[in-house]
Homo-oligomer: A and B are copies of this chain.
Amino acid sequence: MKLSGAELSPSDLGMLRDLELRAETVPPRTDIIRHGDPTSNVHIVFEGLAFRYKYLPDGGRSIMAMLVPGDFCDLNIWILGRMDHSIATLSTSLIAAVPPDAMDRLLTRQSIARALWQATLVDEAILREWLVNLGRRRADRKLAHLFCELYLRLRTIGHAHGPNIRLPVTLEELGDALGITTVHTHRTIQLLRREGLIAQQGQILTIPDLEALMTFAQFDPDYLHLDLTRGN
């Protein structure tokens, strides 16, 4: 499997594969790790979708990242000592837990250490683009931009089926990721549908013309650093 777009040698991969033994199935909408948790295992998403989030004092929720298979959840906790946000699953997921001492062993390999750091920096690049998205785009572009990103990230790991991806998210979750209300998220989705930029059937999102959606959203895939991912 791919690991956050890292370039690893076969022996590195072997070392990682051994960890897979510890993977467990986690139900949808379940916390993997919570804000305030002290140092513990580091988690990796093997299958399914997850998201980073934080609650505000007023009860609002902010979703700050989407995690796809191959992503590390919480290198933060291992390096910084505690979580400053929570992570939960969207769909039923297969989550691996790497104990701290195993992390220490992994990190002695400079190639792995560098790969993980690289993954961290890609996460950061995505976060910066989300910041642009929230701060400088209207709701319709925001939503289109998010859809472009998720489509490309999922396609890169082989989870797109032609123009379709499975996106098991509610309007509330989309809204919390875009900083808009559920009601407005709904109206905005309708708008994109009417424009023919997207189509939906249940959890399946269809992007009939990716170029068109990307243009509409001012989407430039540069920030995803997909070229770092081998073989796609």
Contact = CB atoms under 8 A, between A and B. Distances in A.
A60 B125 CA distance: 19
A127 B225 CA distance: 18
Contacts of A107: 110
B128 A84 contact: yes
A121 B85 contact: no
A134 interface: yes
Copies of this chain per assembly: 2
A48 interface: no
Interface residues of A, number: 45
A118 interface: yes
Nearest to A65: B128
Nearest to A115: B79
A62 interface: yes
A136 B60 contact: yes
B76 A125 contact: yes
Interface in A190-232: 218, 222-223, 225, 228
A127 to B, nearest CB: 5
Contacts of A81: 228
B79 A114 contact: yes
A179 interface: yes
A79 to B, nearest CB: 5
A116 B85 CA distance: 21
A80 B228 contact: yes
Interface of A: 52, 54, 56-58, 60, 62, 64-65, 75-76, 79-81, 84-85, 107-108, 110, 113-114, 116-118, 120-125, 127-128, 130-132, 134-136, 178-179, 218, 222-223, 225, 228
17 contacts: A62-B131, A64-B128, A75-B121, A76-B125, A79-B118, A80-B125, A80-B225, A108-B110, A116-B117, A117-B120, A120-B120, A123-B124, A124-B127, A131-B131, A131-B134, A135-B178, A135-B179
